[in-house]
Amino acid sequence: MADTILVVNAGSSSIKFCVYHIGATSDLSLTLKGQVSGVGTRPSLRASDAGGRPLVDETFSATEIPDVAVAMGRVGAWLREHLAGEVPVAIGHRVAHGGPTYRAPVSVDNDTLAALERLVPLAPMHQPYNLRPIRTIQERFPSTVQVACFDTGFHQGHPDVADRFAIPETLYQEGVRRYGFHGLSYEYIARALPRVAPEIAQGSVVVAHLGSGASMCAIKGGRSMDSTMAFTGLDGLPMGTRCGQIDPGVLLYLVSEKGYGAKELERFLYHETGLHGLSGISNDVRDLLASDDQRARLALDYFVYRVERELGALAAAMQGLDGVVLTAGISENSPEMRARICRGAAWLGLKLDEAANRAGGPRISTRDSKVSAWVIPTDEERMIAEHTLKVWREQ
């Protein structure tokens, strides 16, 4: 029986999963990947093998899969049937927030899980859903090794000035500091650079992870130096339903003049702002690009403007810039958005190769461009699998 690793990436209404085969030399090969989406509304289970051949495509009623815990049970049942009872040697999970304590992936026990649950207020859109499958599997299969892989981990070790707010030391010691997120994605890109773009791999690179959640990271010599996200996933760039950087005085105004409480502020910041709030139309860039509405154009203009502004700031943090890498949903799938971002960086010496951009890269800048630009698809699940394998081997 072959040893396998299961990767689980759970959200509020979906679960992505992958199975990797562990080879004789500890290399990992993708066996299958799938997703349960629409949990609680219009659930569906789809999976395909490594070559993209469909393995399952089922739909369910909302009452059949009302929540993530039930969805995880459905995934487990299908996997046991499909894999003929083959049990993964370990299960790796994406966990949004590791706080100041967890700098590297860890095997999860009761104490670890309790500590991670205390961080839910710092990532309320992600942490509860990341942890729910861990709890479910722990209850049903207590002897199974489960590994938590943190989106904050890659950013640990920032220079001190990039790690702090201008607040009293006591709060910093309590954990109120700049963490940064999307770390699994950035770590994957940092590892891919020597293979895809060796000329910039050890230089100063800004990676833009642009999707419904969006952030940017300054990477120098393969290490994170700074990021647009901070204490929570709210800071920095505008996102699908999150506003990004905002004057704290706006929040004080909403409290004092509009009567907002903590829950109202949380709903506002996580669900009612960003591209959706600015456009009043959609949080999806595809919808906004297809719209003739002036508000859609404004939302996209604002998004590109903030990316360009953060690009300049992160280049300044590294005292220079050798390359820009675009990754995640918007970056990987929209030539128009890539072109707009690259044209806005012309002042840095970036020259867009229009034909290469339309073709999807990987290099989308001209050969004489002072700053090169690249499109590199991210693979957070593989990064989780690699970390899980390492932790399992060390058990």
Q: Which residues are catalytic?
A: 151
Amino acid at 227: S
Dist. CA 342–CA 346, nearest whole Å: 7
Print burial letters for 381-394: b (CB count within 10 Å at least 16), e (below 16).
Answer: bbbbbbbbbebbee
Contact 88, 32 (CB under 8 A): no
Q: Say how many Å lie between the first and final Cα of the chain, rounded.
A: 20
Q: Is 147 helix (H, G, I), strand (E, B) or coil?
A: strand
Neighbour tally for 20: CB within 10 Å: 27
Q: Give me the phi and psi of 217, to 5 degrees please.
A: -135, 135
Residue 37 burial by Cβ neighbours in a 10 Å radius (0-12, 13-18, 19+): middle
Dist. CA 45–CA 47, nearest whole Å: 7
Extract the tokens encoding 204. Answer: 């100063």
Neighbour tally for 115: CB within 10 Å: 15
Residue 256 burial by Cβ neighbours in a 10 Å radius (0-12, 13-18, 19+): exposed
Cα–Cα distances in angstroms (integers) from residue 204 to residues 3, 154, 370, in the given order: 39, 16, 13
Extract the tokens encoding 230. Answer: 């901070």
Contact 38, 31 (CB under 8 A): no
